[in-house]
Structure 1
Amino acid sequence: MDIKYLRVGQIGTNCYIVCDKAGGKCAVIDPGADAQRIIAAVEENGCVPQMILLTHGHYDHIGAVHELLAHFHCKLAVPKMELDFLNNPHRNLQSSVGGGNFEPFRPDILFEDGDTVEVAGLKFHVLHTPGHTPGSCCLLCEDVMFSGDTLFAGSAGRTDFPGGDPAAMRVSMKKLAALSGNFQVLPGHGGFSTLDEERANNPFLAGAADA
């Protein structure tokens, strides 16, 4: 598994290109903005996108989706519990940032907690981790966790936006803390970490397994 990332948009959303070099195919996770930069990075990487996966539906994680779908003719997979949120520009904050006309999303795949999404020779295991938004998910692939805006290095996602839920976030933190083994944590914003590092030092995660 080869992973390339770009920080896109005004608030630096991490977009990930996850490639199976042997098969020449890839998945794109959270293409939030700057579609032409993402397209150029994909083509430079030499892998053909098979699917776009979303960890959640906020505007800064979905802004380049339509352009990528039109360019690559790939599939779109989103959390089932996030679909209504994703398609509401007031709740997903697009309307509040002057994002122009809203074009609805019509996913090919709706995934749920416990599902495995197979794409580009890779298996993404789904963990529903609400709190930041109702349908937020983390995606586990091999030893990597794509944690969206649930878990950050040293922090956790905000719960004061529409659909946020502090109590649900605490449950999600407990769920992540209880996972067996270690994972590389690749979040939706900011720097990277490991799950062991976060268990030890993240105030939102430390001690959550015993709470």
Structure 2
Amino acid sequence: MSGGLVLKRVVVGVLATNCWILHARGDRRALVVDPGDEPGRILAAARGLDVVAVLLTHAHFDHVLAVPDLAAAWRVPVLAHPADAPVWPHEVAAARRAGHWDAGTATAELLARDPASLAFPAGAVLWDGAVTPVADGEILRVGPLEVRMLHTPGHTPGGVSLAVDGHLLTGDTLFPGGPGLTGPPLSDFPAIIRSVRRLLDLPGTTRVHPGHGPDTTVAAERPHLESWVARGW
């Protein structure tokens, strides 16, 4: 919590995705970001709030699996950048062929340890991919909060980060120690570096909340940017 913002983290799914629930202190209107799995836990965490929308920083499976249940329960729009439209169809097609989701560099380890953890859920109701588009610079009002959309492509073409009240929700664009993965199809390392440069231009005190793992700050990450460029990932 900081100032007027209440930010709740719910860690869900096989890749321990950070689902975020944000609202202003004393106000029930809330935004849910990246509901990656375990809809029951997210519903419980949002109990007592009036969710106004679900927002996706990007459309990889580990950020969207709970979308159908939650959108139906809350009857709210699903917001995403339109440039990410190819990502979810690609995720589903690849998973159908392989029989499991693609978890990037963690895939082999997860399949060796617990093959069922990534198994494609044949017969399950999957998200239909329908979104209400958001644009770079757009302001989403969540009660008294102003949440600014930042188009930060690279991990996916339509990746977005959210700036609100001195905090930054970066999805899989920026983590402690560097940018997100750019190995899978539809990703691009030079693009993510451009996006990270943009994020690191924000005030150093800005608190960074990534799509997986612990938080960091702009000031903590900014000195390392050129070393990330040099290593190429």
Give the TM-score normalised by the residue count of structure 2: 0.80
Name the counterpart of 2:88: 86
Is the 2:43–2:70 contact (alpha carbons within 8 Å) kept by the matching residues of 1?
yes
Name the counterpart of 1:130: 153
Q: 1:205 to 1:127 in 2, by over 3 A?
A: farther
- Which residues in structure 2 correspond to 1:58-69 (within 5 Å)? 58-69=60-71
Distance in 2, matches of 1:48 and 1:58, equals 26
Aligned with 1:16 (options 16, 20, 25)? 20
- Please report how far the alpha carbon of residue 118 of structure 1 lies from its aligned counterpart in structure 2 after TM superposition: 1.8
Max Rg structure: 2
Name the counterpart of 1:177: 200
- Which residues in structure 2 correspond to 1:19-34 (within 5 Å)? 19-34=23-38
SS of corresponding position for 1:191 = coil
Count of residue pairs the alignment pairs up: 202
CA-atom RMSD in angstroms: 2.0
Is the 2:204–2:217 contact (alpha carbons within 8 Å) kept by the matching residues of 1?
no
- Give the gaps of 5 or more residues in structure 1: 207-211
Name the counterpart of 2:40: 36
- Please report how far the alpha carbon of residue 181 of structure 1 lies from its aligned counterpart in structure 2 after TM superposition: 4.8
User: Is it true that 1:167 corresponds to 2:190 in the alignment?
Assistant: yes
- Give the gaps of 5 or more residues in structure 2: 102-119
Which stretch shifts more, 61-70 or 175-184? 175-184
Distance in 2, matches of 1:94 and 1:192, equals 30
Name the counterpart of 1:140: 163
- Please report how far the alpha carbon of residue 99 of structure 1 lies from its aligned counterpart in structure 2 after TM superposition: 3.6
SS of corresponding position for 1:11 = coil
- Please report how far the alpha carbon of residue 84 of structure 1 lies from its aligned counterpart in structure 2 after TM superposition: 2.9
Is the 1:15–1:32 contact (alpha carbons within 8 Å) kept by the matching residues of 2?
yes
- Please report how far the alpha carbon of residue 83 of structure 1 lies from its aligned counterpart in structure 2 after TM superposition: 2.2
Is the 2:23–2:142 contact (alpha carbons within 8 Å) kept by the matching residues of 1?
no
- Please report how far the alpha carbon of residue 114 of structure 1 lies from its aligned counterpart in structure 2 after TM superposition: 1.6
- Please report how far the alpha carbon of residue 75 of structure 1 lies from its aligned counterpart in structure 2 after TM superposition: 1.9
SS of corresponding position for 2:46 = helix
State the percentage of identical aligned residues: 32
- Please report how far the alpha carbon of residue 27 of structure 1 lies from its aligned counterpart in structure 2 after TM superposition: 0.6
Q: Return the letter of the residue paired with 2:63.
A: H
- Please report how far the alpha carbon of residue 173 of structure 1 lies from its aligned counterpart in structure 2 after TM superposition: 1.9
Which stretch shifts more, 116-125 or 145-154? 116-125
- Please report how far the alpha carbon of residue 94 of structure 1 lies from its aligned counterpart in structure 2 after TM superposition: 4.9
Which stretch shifts more, 193-202 or 154-163? 193-202
